[in-house]
Structure 1
């Protein structure tokens, strides 16, 4: 008897605007087809989705969770999933992408607060929340979308406050799930859903530190050779190239939002020499850091391609 195929997992990278790091994808373009993708995918930022029409199924952690109009979905970064509509339907969505650390770190200062839910403890069924059961979540999510779409005076301040309230509500929901995880469940889910997620989390939070491939492999409990192969299989690039692209993307933000020198920024994001920073920056951004800083870039051009259209969308 042949072994079942392992699901292919795709990485989808989204760049956030510099001046207000929240990305909204909405409108008629964002309709999900009824054809199930052969691939799971995950994102580099937290995703909040709002289903406006029809229904379908979201596959999360090996579970098929139904959704319908009025549902709000809440997916931490690095959580593989896929979504497809009911037969002969094309559900319409709006999506918000953001980084809790970037937005709320200076405001939410409770000691030892986890800014994202524990992927091992998260329940697939609680990633899809219906407005009848969670009316506050639905009202907050739709209000954020309306603020960003209409852009009335002070819309950013309003959207920020609403997003913080929404995020706290979602953290409370998942905190209850995490507290309810027993020892048996913990043992069953010791391995994360995405085997390289510990390395991705480490790079996301510690890109500015010296790091070796051996250390990243150890975090994932893999041999260095297996880790390199698995990382490239999932991410489509090497661990070192992903680390450097993360550093360059952060450098782009600092070049636009601060007056720090190019040398200082290169050191802040983890490059050991200005020459290696300039070389890596030019390779990814197709111009020097100085030229990029003085150019008419309204937001951070990604050091990794932003994916706005892909399999499964109408």
Structure 2
């Protein structure tokens, strides 16, 4: 009897604009076909989706959740999922990507550190919000898309306020659903996405030294099993992923500050300027100094393909 194929999980990496770190994907291109993908995928930023037409299914954490026009989806980063439309339809969507800790870090009290819901406590059915039950969520989400599309004077300030209101509303909704039994949370930690604690740790602590053994301990795995599992899901080694994260952060600093290259290399966690230059050139195709010169024009930002994984963009 043939073995059942394990689902492939794709990492879709999006680089956000530096001056206003919110990415909008909208228009006729963003239609979801009725062909069910064999791959789950997840993102490096929180995703808010708005369905404008038709209906279909989202698969989230093993649950098949129906969606329809007017629904708003709320997918925390690192949460594997996939979407497909009903037969003979192609649902139309807009997507908003952002990282709450980056854009809202000055809006919350310093004691507040949990910017996203506990990934393990999120149930798939709570990621699709019905327009009739949550009219405020739908109104705020569509208003944000409208501001980002039209770009009238002060649109960024307006979009920021709307996004903050939407995010707080989403946190309130999900905070009511985080009271799971300990055994349910423990069970989900054993699933295919056991490496999520490491992805979250690297995202917020990329500038600090870390070892493979330490990262494996975060997932309660042996070092050998952790290496194999990480590469199976991410398509790259843990330390290569760490370095890619550091280089992307370096790109932001190279473009948005006048700090020296040595200072930036230290800020993002490299122990020597030579290792920083070598890693930067390998990923970006040019030295930090050359990249910074090119980045003076607004047209260039950190490459969307800095992490060479499968994605839409």
> TM-score normalised to the size of structure 2?
0.94
Question: 1:128 is matched with which residue?
Answer: 128
Instruction: Write the distance in 2 (CA, Å) between the matches of 1:239 and 1:308.
Output: 19
Question: 1:15 is matched with which residue?
Answer: 15
Structure 1 segment 194-273 matched on structure 2, within 5 A: 194-273=193-272
- Structure 1 consecutive aligned stretches of length 4 or more whose deviation exceeds 6 Å: none
Q: 1:275 to 1:113 in 2, by over 3 A?
A: closer
- What is the Cα deviation at residue 27 of structure 1? 0.3
Structure 2 residue 84 is matched with structure 1 residue 84: yes
- What is the Cα deviation at residue 181 of structure 1? 1.9
Q: 1:279 to 1:244 in 2, by over 3 A?
A: same
Question: 1:300 is matched with which residue?
Answer: 302
Instruction: Write the distance in 1 (CA, Å) between the matches of 2:3 and 2:176.
Output: 37
Could you say which structure has the greater relative contact order, defined with CA pairs below 8 angstroms and 6 or more residues apart? 1
Q: 1:258 to 1:110 in 2, by over 3 A?
A: closer
Instruction: Write the distance in 2 (CA, Å) between the matches of 1:128 and 1:242.
Output: 30
Q: 1:118 to 1:51 in 2, by over 3 A?
A: same
Instruction: Write the distance in 1 (CA, Å) between the matches of 2:236 and 2:2.
Output: 30
The question of whether the paired residues in 1 share the 8 Å contact of 2:34 and 2:88 is answered with: yes
Q: 1:203 to 1:76 in 2, by over 3 A?
A: same
How many residue pairs get aligned? The number is 309
Correspondent of 2:312 among 303, 309, 312: 309
Residue ranges of structure 1 left out of the alignment (5+ in a row): none
Question: 2:59 is matched with which residue?
Answer: 59
Instruction: Write the distance in 2 (CA, Å) between the matches of 1:261 and 1:306.
Output: 30
Q: 1:47 to 1:181 in 2, by over 3 A?
A: same
Instruction: Write the distance in 2 (CA, Å) between the matches of 1:293 and 1:273.
Output: 19
- What is the Cα deviation at residue 203 of structure 1? 0.6
Question: 2:159 is matched with which residue?
Answer: 159
Q: 1:239 to 1:230 in 2, by over 3 A?
A: same
The question of whether the paired residues in 2 share the 8 Å contact of 1:19 and 1:299 is answered with: no
Question: 1:100 is matched with which residue?
Answer: 100
The question of whether the paired residues in 1 share the 8 Å contact of 2:266 and 2:272 is answered with: yes
Question: 1:189 is matched with which residue?
Answer: 188
Question: 2:286 is matched with which residue?
Answer: 287
The question of whether the paired residues in 2 share the 8 Å contact of 1:126 and 1:174 is answered with: yes
